Structure 1
């Protein structure tokens, strides 16, 4: 494995650990998982009541995952789903007053120190970082997921 690959793997591991740690903080403080909070924030920032599909695109989760998360949020009374008046096949999602209230008390999606540091970067540096992270995410998505981890490990050995 090349030194660049090892460096990248280490950096990705540190990012994953930071996200995991902050996710546990959110769960402890707000009683929400990071994906649940992400969906609630997306609903708050969306002026209209979006469909689950539109939410899935906005937060980069599969529609099935979003549907499962919405089931749990709806059971807790944080969101409500309703049929669109113009097309009864479309199901729209909206925050409830209880959901808005919980969001008002929830921690931010990202740690304040990170947000301050990111905001302090130049617009060009922020754009470059976002492009690099998007490219890494695209490369990681392009990996053939049909190969099981055990098969990958045995072929690598």
Structure 2
């Protein structure tokens, strides 16, 4: 394994550990998992009630994952789903007052120190970091997609 690959792996592990630690803080303080809070935040930012598919696109999760999270949040009374008046096939998602109240008390999606440090970077440096992270995510996603059929084959045997 090349030194660059080892360096990248170490950096990715530190990022994963930081995300895991902060995710536990969020859950402890709000009773929400990071993906649940992410969905509620995205929902609050929408001007019009979105569909689950629209939310999935906004937060980069699969529609199945979003549906499962929405089920749990709806059971807790934090959001409501209803059929659109103009097209009964569409199901729209809205925050409830209880959901808005919980969001008002919830910690930010990212640690304040990180947000301050990121905001202090120049615009071109922020853009470069975002581009690099997007490329890493795309590379990792392509590996996940390539591995998926092999996993299905081995579990079927």
Same fold (TM over 0.5): yes
Q: Distance in 2 between matches of 1:37 and 1:122?
A: 28
Q: What's the counterpart of residue 66 of structure 1?
A: 66
Residue 115, structure 1, aligned to residue 115, structure 2: yes
Moved over 4 A (4+): none
- Secondary structure in 2 matching 1:142: helix
- More helix as a share of residues: 2
CA deviation string 1:119-150 (max 9, x = no partner): 000000000000000000000000113234xx
- Secondary structure in 2 matching 1:108: coil
Residue 133, structure 1, aligned to residue 133, structure 2: yes
Q: What's the counterpart of residue 2 of structure 1?
A: 2
Q: Distance in 2 between matches of 1:132 and 1:21?
A: 23
The unaligned stretches of length 5 or more in structure 2 are none
Q: Following superposition of structure 1 onto structure 2, how do residues 7-156 of structure 1 map, counting pairs within 5 Å?
A: 7-143=7-143, 144-146=146-148, 147-148=150-151
Offset at 1:86? Answer: 1.1
CA deviation string 1:37-76 (max 9, x = no partner): 0000000111110000000000000000000000000000
Q: Distance in 2 between matches of 1:145 and 1:16?
A: 21
- Secondary structure in 1 matching 2:47: coil
